[in-house]
Amino acid sequence: MTTARDIMHRGAQWIPTHETLDRAAQLMRELGVGALPISDHNERLCGILTDRDIVVGCVAMGRDPSKVTAGELAQGTPRWIDADADVGDVLREMQDHQIRRLPVIDNKRLVGMISEADLAQHLTEEQIGSWAEHVYARSAPSAH
């Protein structure tokens, strides 16, 4: 059985809710990623912040990224998957919620992220095609 742990990329890092968006952008650049899970003070998942969120939800609105926090852009119910979940469960979670990035949690700790690139590296063309058809079938509410 292929699990979320098998296909995730390791080294994902939280961005705290109180951290500013300019720092979040710097961390994204340092890590070479386009999204960061947002955590509260207890390291519980509050949402995911994307580079697009920073541009559309802050910069394009004329707001200063050094004064807006990650928590201010966190919205909706955060989705995640257990590290030992089957890849079929990963695909269903992403398809059902039309999300392109999924934090992987083990014992209440962030251990990785699954993105489109991870799916492309580990799944069959048929699995990827089905996933894309569901995720991109109708306009998703955000770039997550």
DSSP string, the chain: --BHHHHSEE----EETTSBHHHHHHHHHHHT-SEEEEE-TT--EEEEEEHHHHHHHTGGGT--TTT-BHHHH--S----EETTSBHHHHHHHHHHTT-SEEEEEETTEEEEEEEHHHHHHHS-HHHHHHHHHHHSSS--SS--
Does a structural domain hold residue 50?
Answer: yes
Does a structural domain hold residue 49?
Answer: yes
Residue among 131, 106, 108 at smallest CA distance from 118:
131
Over the chain (144 residues), what is each successive 10-residue block's mean pLDDT?
A: 92 92 96 91 88 94 96 86 95 89 91 90 83 72 50
Does a structural domain hold residue 142?
Answer: no
| pLDDT tens profile 28-38 | 999 988 899 99
Does a structural domain hold residue 44?
Answer: yes
Count: domains in the chain: 1
| pLDDT tens profile 4-35 | 999 998 878 999 999 999 999 999 999 988 89
Looking up residue 105, the CATH number of its domain turns out to be 3.10.580.10
Does a structural domain hold residue 57?
Answer: yes
Does a structural domain hold residue 112?
Answer: yes
> Model pTM greater than 0.75?
yes
Backbone angles phi, psi at 93, to 5 degrees: -60, -45
Does a structural domain hold residue 140?
Answer: no
Host domain of residue 87: 4-135
**Who contacts 67 (Cβ-Cβ below 8 Å, separation ≥6)?**
20
Does a structural domain hold residue 141?
Answer: no
